[in-house]
Amino acid sequence: MQESQKTEDRETARLLQRIGQAFRIPGPFFSYEEIKMGNVNRTYKVNYVVEDGAGSAHLKSYLVQRINTYAFRTPEQLMSNIEKVTETLRQKAPGDVYLHFHHTADRKNYIVDETGFWRLCNYIPSVTFNSCSDPRVVRNAGKAFGHFQTMLSDYDASSLFCTIPDFHDTRVRYDTLDRDIEADPLGRAKDAAREIDYLMSVRDLACRLTDLFRQGKLPLRVTHNDTKINNVLFEEGTCRPLTVIDLDTVMPGLAGHDFGDAIRFAANAVEEDCPDEDRVSLDLNVFWAFTEGFLSETACSLTKNEVDSLAVSSFCLACELATRFLDDYILGDKYFKTSGPGHNLVRARCQIALAKDMLRKMDAMDALVQRYARKFADRDKADK
Ligand code: GN1
Ligand code: MG
């Protein structure tokens, strides 16, 4: 290991210890590792020694995260949302596994210092999947996100802060892209001419979910808004879903936001940044399994318009994310963590290839949605 790397590691360990102290974590600090998770925040697993009083000791772990305040401009509000939501979930199902954010001596669930905005929560032993085609796992992921939405269905969405304004407003995302292509501060727009042309050609369909909401045809709910399959923790061995994590974007939203975002991630046959567009495709098996799981939890509470919007929402969310990756590319990669200057462009291309395949398979996707919506609505009626 290089000397400079060792020094950096020691500094990080000291910093994480200081953060642990602020959150009043007992026991000596033992070690840490960075968890390569997410494209926005930085996450560390920290391990402490806990003595049991009878001569032996074990390690207890926590997660420490530095919030990306470029993405989240009002992190205190984000932490207030998380407090409300985790507390509601805990009260509704005290036996469930859930995230718990620790507090400082002055009852705040975050600290801010010259190194950034930090929080600390329990570490839940579990497995996660960045990609998975096993229908049992995918169905359980659908159940986990559906359950999350259903548990919060009577929660007053207006009491939550909107932590990233217009997060899933696809029209606003397109307008932002228009503006940034026009300004083109780094002269990068020319590299993306093909991608820009495609996104502009499907603008109205990509904005379908947003337009339906603006026309008053879809209800506002409390949604997760970032439903990548790796935001579900599963029990090791059984693959039972334990809990949904990454609650940064929990705020008022649409059922289709959670469904569509999950599909565009989980049902993509390749990684989100696969450079080979020919390998990108919508895996209908994964779509089927997620849809079944999600609707088994939500069918009784969704309106007809919501059900009808689900299949197309996958297309909307894939295009929306493509505009976001492309926009970040044009502006110089300020928002998403990247491995180099072309990374966001590769990601945008991948979402576009996926969106195209979704269009080819839209009828099949919608047929599956309709079938499971009917099946579970009938089941719930019979149960009553
Ligand atoms: C970001 O950081 P992560 O992976 O949880 C982003 C999502 C995108 C996703 C794409 C707050 O999520 O909206 O869909 O990257 N989160 C935020 O990988 O912008
Ligand atoms: Mg996230």
Query: Based on the domain organization, do 116 and 154 belong to the same domain?
Result: no
How buried is residue 381: exposed, middle or buried, by Cβ count under 10 Å (0-12/13-18/19+)? exposed
321 lines ligand 1 (CB under 6 A): yes
Looking at the domain assignment, is residue 304 inside a domain? yes
pTM of the predicted protein model: 0.92
Q: How far is the CA of 39 from the centre of ligand 1 (A)?
A: 6
Range of the domain at 20: 3-122
Interatomic CA distance for residues 178 and 73, integer angstroms: 23
CB-proximal residues (5 Å) to ion ligand 2:
226, 246
Interatomic CA distance for residues 327 and 324, integer angstroms: 5
Which secondary structure element, helix H or strand E, spans residue 113, and what is its range? strand 111-113
Looking at the domain assignment, is residue 187 inside a domain? yes
Query: Based on the domain organization, do 257 and 368 belong to the same domain?
Result: yes
Q: Whose C-alpha lies nearest to ligand 1, atom 10?
A: 39
Q: How far is the CA of 331 from the centre of ligand 2 (A)?
A: 21
Interatomic CA distance for residues 278 and 353, integer angstroms: 8
Question: Which residue in the block uniquely carries the two structure tokens 């994590």?
Answer: 245
Q: How far is the CA of 79 from the centre of ligand 1 (A)?
A: 17
Number of domains in the chain: 2
Using left for φ > 0, alpha for ψ between -120 and 50, and beta otherwise, residue 92 falls in alpha
181 lines ligand 1 (CB under 6 A): no
39 lines ligand 1 (CB under 6 A): yes
**Which of 74, 78, 226 has most ligand 1 atoms within 8 Å of its beta carbon, as the pocket-test mutant?**
226
Query: Based on the domain organization, do 153 and 215 belong to the same domain?
Result: yes
Residue pair 244/144 in contact (Cβ under 8 Å)? The answer is yes
**Which of 228, 271, 346 has most ligand 1 atoms within 8 Å of its beta carbon, as the pocket-test mutant?**
228
**Which of 35, 39, 324 has most ligand 1 atoms within 8 Å of its beta carbon, as the pocket-test mutant?**
39
Query: Based on the domain organization, do 180 and 214 belong to the same domain?
Result: yes
Examine the fold and report which residue of 68, 90, 122 is the final residue of a domain before the chain moves on.
Answer: 122
Looking at the domain assignment, is residue 130 inside a domain? no
Query: Based on the domain organization, do 89 and 149 belong to the same domain?
Result: no
Q: How far is the CA of 93 from the centre of ligand 1 (A)?
A: 28
Examine the fold and report which residue of 100, 122, 144 is the final residue of a domain before the chain moves on.
Answer: 122
Residue pair 145/233 in contact (Cβ under 8 Å)? The answer is no
Query: Based on the domain organization, do 93 and 224 belong to the same domain?
Result: no
Q: Would you write out the chain's pLDDT as a tens digit for each of its 384 residues? A: 677 777 888 999 999 999 999 999 998 999 999 998 788 999 999 999 998 888 899 999 999 999 999 999 999 999 999 999 999 999 998 888 989 999 999 999 999 999 999 999 999 999 999 888 899 999 999 999 999 999 998 898 888 999 999 999 999 999 999 999 999 999 999 999 999 999 999 999 999 999 999 999 999 999 999 999 999 999 999 999 999 999 999 999 999 999 999 999 999 999 999 999 999 999 999 999 999 999 999 999 999 999 999 999 999 999 999 999 999 999 999 999 999 999 999 999 999 999 999 999 999 999 999 999 999 998 888 887
**Which of 35, 36, 37, 40 has most ligand 1 atoms within 8 Å of its beta carbon, as the pocket-test mutant?**
40
Q: How far is the CA of 38 from the centre of ligand 1 (A)?
A: 7
Q: From the CB of residue 262, how many other CB atoms can be counted at a distance below 10 Å? A: 32
Q: Whose C-alpha lies nearest to ligand 1, atom 13?
A: 226
Examine the fold and report which residue of 122, 144, 172 is the final residue of a domain before the chain moves on.
Answer: 122
Query: Based on the domain organization, do 218 and 272 belong to the same domain?
Result: yes
Looking at the domain assignment, is residue 216 inside a domain? yes
Question: Which residue in the block uniquely carries the two structure tokens 């932590």?
Answer: 163
Looking at the domain assignment, is residue 129 inside a domain? no
Q: Whose C-alpha lies nearest to ligand 1, atom 17?
A: 40
Query: Based on the domain organization, do 87 and 235 belong to the same domain?
Result: no
Write 102-109 long-range contacts (CB < 8 A, 24+): 102/23, 102/24, 102/25, 102/62, 103/23, 103/24, 104/22, 104/23, 104/24, 105/24, 108/79, 109/79, 109/82, 109/83
Looking at the domain assignment, is residue 269 inside a domain? yes
Q: How far is the CA of 39 from the centre of ligand 2 (A)?
A: 7
CATH code, domain carrying 319: 3.90.1200.10
Q: How far is the CA of 326 from the centre of ligand 1 (A)?
A: 14
Counting ligands in written order, the one closest to the CA of 37 is 1
CATH code, domain carrying 53: 3.30.200
Query: Based on the domain organization, do 294 and 249 belong to the same domain?
Result: yes
